Amino acid sequence: MPEIFRNTRTRFAPSPSGRLHLGHAYSALVAWQAAGCDANRFLLRIDDIDSSRCKDEFTDHLIDDLQWLGISWNQPPLYQSARRQRYDAALAWLESEKLVYPCHLSRKEYEASLTAPQDSQNSPPVPNTALHHTAVPALRLDMDRALAQIKLKNQSLIWQTHTGDAITADPRSLGNVVLGRRNSPASYHLSVVIDDADSQIDLVVRGDDLRASTDLHCLLQTLLGLPSPLYHHHELICDQTGQRLAKRDKARSLATYRENGLTINDVKSLLPPIKLL
């Protein structure tokens, strides 16, 4: 075990919206290795804020699959669905600081407003949020204002990889992302930074597809005064056509492998070797 991982506390945070597949198994096993295969340093978090997609039965299945992989945890799992108040408070604070604003446009309308011709070529697109007063507004990050505040306070947006490389975050291209909605749960981006900080996670292990999101998470951590963990973005597991595995891809679900009598070692042999450094 490399020295830098000696006391690392990490987590695996699946959404219970389907059965776990090989990609999840890889992510969980990399995190488990980084925690030194120590149940005291590995947290299971259930990312179940989106109640329209998540089901308790999938939570039961994923716990069973992880245990089958030989992964264990000593603390009870953390359920995001139980933490709404915590996210709401952060959202309310961001709104009071005018770092988020209510936007009544649907996603489609919002995107169209960004590409619509502007009066002045230099001014950023301003969505007409006065439209559609009846809709529940999305609470969007005011990216320009957030970055201006960072600059004003002379803060830097830097996150670190697990090997100690410092990465300058550049979240601007992600735009005014939705951080929540009134009377409904916070977005993944907001909940994840709050949960990782509250759970004292010092290494986040997740797929390479979330690398760009880490720039945004770094910005949110800085705005909210939260610590930034180290990040290890591992390679993604793809099918023969080079497509990322999805939960609907039943053929590679752990359940299917288990039903077909494969052992843990058979499953591990289908995965790339785990290299932490």
CB closer to ligand GLU, 135 vs 271: 271
CB 207 within 8 A of CB 236: yes
CB closer to ligand GLU, 47 vs 65: 47
| 187 counts as binding ligand GLU under rule CB under 6 A | no
CB closer to ligand GLU, 47 vs 215: 47
Tell me the one-letter amino acid at 273: P
Q: How far apart are CA 219 and CA 193, in angstroms?
A: 10
Q: Strands 42-46 and 78-79: what pairing?
A: parallel
CB closer to ligand GLU, 58 vs 105: 58
Q: How far apart are CA 277 and CA 274, in angstroms?
A: 9
| 140 counts as binding ligand GLU under rule CB under 6 A | no
Q: What is the chain's percent helix, strand, coil content, to nearest 5?
A: 40, 15, 45
| 18 counts as binding ligand GLU under rule CB under 6 A | no
Nearest to 17 by CA among 43, 55, 47: 55
Query: Binders of ligand GLU among 208-247, rule CB under 6 A?
Result: 210
Q: How far apart are CA 66 and CA 109, in angstroms?
A: 41
Q: How far apart are CA 10 and CA 196, in angstroms?
A: 9
**Of residues 83, 206, 232, 252, which one binds ligand GLU by CB under 6 A?**
206
**Of residues 28, 47, 62, 231, which one binds ligand GLU by CB under 6 A?**
47
CB closer to ligand GLU, 45 vs 104: 45
CB of 113 to ligand GLU, least distance (A): 28
Q: How far apart are CA 190 and CA 171, in angstroms?
A: 14
| 25 counts as binding ligand GLU under rule CB under 6 A | no
**DSSP per-residue string spanning 157-194:** -EEEBTT--EEE--GGGG-S-EEEETTBPPPHHHHHHH
| 13 counts as binding ligand GLU under rule CB under 6 A | yes
| 54 counts as binding ligand GLU under rule CB under 6 A | no
Q: How far apart are CA 192 and CA 47, in angstroms?
A: 9
**Of residues 28, 192, 219, 267, which one binds ligand GLU by CB under 6 A?**
192
CB closer to ligand GLU, 14 vs 127: 14
CB 16 within 8 A of CB 56: yes
**Of residues 10, 15, 191, 228, which one binds ligand GLU by CB under 6 A?**
15
| 14 counts as binding ligand GLU under rule CB under 6 A | yes
CB closer to ligand GLU, 210 vs 276: 210
CB of 272 to ligand GLU, least distance (A): 18
CB of 44 to ligand GLU, least distance (A): 12
Residues that bind ligand GLU in the complex, under the rule CB under 6 A: 13-15, 47, 192, 206, 210
